[in-house]
Amino acid sequence: MKTRVTDTLLARVGNVEVSKFETATGARLRLRRAGSVGAPAPAEAEAYLDPLELEGLTRLRYKPIAVLSRTRTDRERPGQPEKAEAVEHLQNEFAMVGVGISHANSDTRLVIMDMTAGQTVFLTSQELEALLAARHMDLAPLIDTSDLVAIPEPDIDQA
């Protein structure tokens, strides 16, 4: 029996190709370093991020991680709010995210939206390059939500 794999290119952000990579075990976001026109072939690098890791990236504002600390400068751009184009949904049993591309002021960014919490992160080409060098354990602090403050839910028995 042959396993079907699809790799759908979503966009190119700087020198990084972003695609939705689907296998029988679920969808992943594939980041791959691509060469620019007329430039020598770059060193091969690629990363596969699952929906839970992508959801964790939306927490960068609250929980910075070392692999992105050198490239992460601005949190929100002033001016008009950005919107993502052609949003693709990736989900597994733990997380559901929307992934798209934002174009503003001749700048292209990858947009990741946590569909449950409503948080969004915009990643530049430099940040995507940094993620190509990251290991899954580098993203672990973003996945652990035990130290985030949550709004307590009302107790229905106390009503």
| Alpha-carbon span 79 to 58, nearest angstrom | 21
| Alpha-carbon span 101 to 83, nearest angstrom | 8
Query: Using one digit for the tens of pLDDT, what is the confidence trace for 85-104?
Result: 778 999 999 999 999 999 87
Q: Hey, which bits of the chain come out as E strands?
A: 6-13, 16-23, 26-33, 46-49, 85-91, 96-104, 107-114, 120-123
The confidence score (pLDDT) of residue 144 equals 83
> pLDDT grade, residue 79 (50/70/90)?
very low
Q: Which residue, among 96, 84, 118, has the nearest Cα to 50 in the 3D structure?
A: 96
Q: Which residue has the higher pLDDT, 39 or 27?
A: 27
Q: Could you tell me the residue ranges of all domains in the chain? A: 6-144
Helix (H, G, I), strand (E, B) or coil at 43: coil
